[in-house]
Amino acid sequence: MRVTQGVVFLVGFLAVARPDLSPAVAGLTINTQPGESPPSAAQTAETQPADVLPADVLPADVLPADVQLSPGDGGTEPAAPNDEWHLSLDAGRGDTLFDLLLDNQVARAEADAAIQALRPVFDPRKLRIGQSIDLTFQRRDGAVHLGHLALSPDPVHHVRLDAQVDTGFRVSQETKSVERHLAAAHAVIASSQYEAGVKAGVPIPILLSVIKVYSHDVDFQRDFQEGDRFEVLYERFVTGDGVAVRTGDLLFARLVLSGRDLPIYRFQTADGRVDYYDREGQSVRRALLRTPLDGARITSGFGQRRHPILGYSKMHQGVDFGAPSGTPIYAAGAGMIEEARRRNGYGNYLRIRHNTEIATAYAHLSRFGSGARRGARVDQGDLIGYVGATGRATGPHLHYEVLRAGRQVNPLSVDTPVGRRLKGRELNEFQQAVASADRAFQAALGNDQVADLPATCTQPGRC
């Protein structure tokens, strides 16, 4: 029931009939439409309806039970809010847990105590953008207090903070179990192996591993043709409820390029070294990588050419790989850095001595990698610098040279030694690993692309 014009009459009536209520009636506010004056007690017609009456003004026996009541200007304070309330939010750019607590009226000292209690299990500085946080607040003694905080910093861990009466905070951490599975994928290559892998759902780290392992023998810009295909088998780590945690190792891969069948298998030898081998037990590792960076295209080959800046024909004594500025550059082979400095038209220049005969050089770098200095030793695949356009360069690219006995040779045709070949007992163990990987690959494809590792397998590639 909405109180209308009758309220005015009732107010006037009460002022006369119930003198004991006069002070309260005097404090009654009757709401009107904007721009209108409140009606007097004598007005009983042409009056805008009042919304509500103060709850503390009239005794219960005065108004009908269905009349809506509320405090007015002369009434008591509103009822206290709920003693406890919950809030779920996602951290935004620049947010900190400390600020989020302060924003919700938690005292600075209490917020600091909560953060300190969290530190043994969660570093508040690692709060991610988009991180979900559940909070419970309590109102006690007129102040807001943190009652509960919970978040999952990663798929495996769940952190909970609970307030304890007069004893600060208690923090706990739940760790989910993680299971190891095998996943498999295969695809036909339409334009590039990388693009086909992404469409097939292969994780980026696995695709990069494939490129790196095959870089000894495959030119990823020129060797692929439409209709070629690839297969991969790799580790996946997931929680018991199926949430992906991380990607493990590449265990098997196979490229079929223009009829060439190139399978590789991960295998750990008795001395603890891990490498990739073909079916015959020959390591696919060579002394030098064919391409010392990922995803690059050849923009200029080895040989005579018209120099794009000097304007006359000049012997181009290396291969240029076009790539965006900042693309990582890797050591083509193990060795020692002979030079890492600015060198005339080469710009930032780095040269690695691999043995008494072979060296490789890298030019136009935007900068050198951490620790890449003269005299430092590097392993094949170590980060040594980044693509740039220093020196005489029309744009960002890597100028790559292979030197034999001090003279530049064509990096794409140089013949370099291959890695080790397995023999005897290790070769027998490897052949068993090959058969196991082949079976696992087929099982994974037939089981929604996921297969469990054998229960007794503790060293993938050796079982």
CATH classification number, 297-409, choose in 2.70.70.10, 3.40.640.10, 1.10.1030.10, 3.40.50.920: 2.70.70.10
224 by DSSP, 3-state: which?
coil
Q: Is the C-alpha dihedral spanning 280, 285, 287, 288 positive or negative?
A: positive
Contact present, 463 and 317 (Cβ < 8 Å): no
For the record, the structure tokens of 350 come out as: 């780095």
Burial (CB count <10 Å: 0-12, 13-18, 19+), residue 349: buried
Q: Identify the residue with better confidence: 308 or 383.
A: 383
pLDDT at 37 over 90: no
pLDDT at residue number 151 = 92
Average pLDDT (373-377) is 94
What is the pLDDT, as a whole number, of residue 211? 83
Distance CA 61, CA 66 (A): 12
At position 197, the amino acid (one-letter code) is G
Note the pLDDT tens digit of each residue in 150-167: 999 989 999 999 998 777
How do the domains of the chain map onto residue ranges?
1-79, 84-175, 178-285+420-463, 297-409
Question: pLDDT tier at 306 (50, 70, 90 boundaries)?
Answer: low
Give the best-scoring range by mean pLDDT among 199-208, 361-370, 419-428. Answer: 361-370
Write out pLDDT tens, residues 241-295. 888 889 999 999 999 888 889 999 999 998 888 999 999 999 988 878 878 887 6
**Using CB atoms within 10 A of its CB, is residue 185 exposed (0-12), middle (13-18) or buried (19+)?**
buried
Judge whether 84-175 and 178-285+420-463 match in fold: yes
Residue 221 confidence (pLDDT) above 80: no
Q: What residues are paired with 363 via a beta bridge?
A: 399
**Once rounded to an integer, what is the mean pLDDT over residues 322-341?**
92
- What single letter denotes the amino acid at residue 367? R
Going by the DSSP 8-state scheme, the letter that residue 203 receives in this structure is -
Give the pLDDT of residue 305.
58
> Residue 351 pLDDT more than 90?
yes
Look up residue 352 and give its amino acid. Answer: I
Element (H, E) at 208: helix 204-214
Share of the chain above pLDDT 70, in %: 75
pLDDT average, residue stretch 136-157 = 90
84-175: what fold? Answer: Nuclear Transport Factor 2; Chain: A, (3.10.450)
pLDDT-derived band at 9 (thresholds 50, 70, 90) equals very low
Are the CB atoms for 131 and 151 separated by under 8 Å? Answer: yes
> pLDDT at residue 326 above 50?
yes
Arithmetic mean of pLDDT, 179-193: 86
Mean per-residue pLDDT over the chain, rounded: 79
Residue 64, pLDDT > 90, answer no
CA distance 449 to 234: 11
Closest CA to 247 of 273, 220, 208, 285: 208
Two structure tokens written together for 259: 């009829």
243 neighbors 249 (Cβ within 8 angstroms): no
Task: Reply yes or no on whether the pLDDT at 460 is more than 90.
Answer: no
- C-alpha separations of 94 from 97, 116, 148, 167, 386 in Å: 10, 20, 22, 31, 30
Are 339 and 350 a contacting pair, CB within 8 Å? yes
What is the distance between the alpha carbons of residues 69 and 56, in angstroms, rounded to a whole number?
Answer: 8
Given this model, what pLDDT does residue 36 score? 46
**Model confidence at 440: pLDDT above 50:** yes
- Which carries the bigger pLDDT value, residue 178 or residue 21? 178
What are phi and psi for residue 360, nearest 5 degrees? Answer: -130, 150
- Residue 41 predicted with pLDDT over 80: no
**422-445 mean pLDDT:** 94
Q: Which residue did the predictor score with more confidence, 429 or 45?
A: 429
C-alpha span between 90 and 2 (Å, rounded): 42
Half-sphere exposure of 97 (CA within 13 A, CB side): 29
pLDDT greater than 60 at residue 66: no
pLDDT (tens digit per residue) in 42-60: 444 444 444 444 444 445 4
Q: What's the confidence (pLDDT) of residue 307? A: 59
Q: Which residue has the tokens 């295998």?
A: 267
CATH architecture of the domain covering 178-285+420-463? Roll (3.10)
Cα–Cα separations (whole angstroms), residue 234 to 51, 400, 449 = 70, 32, 11
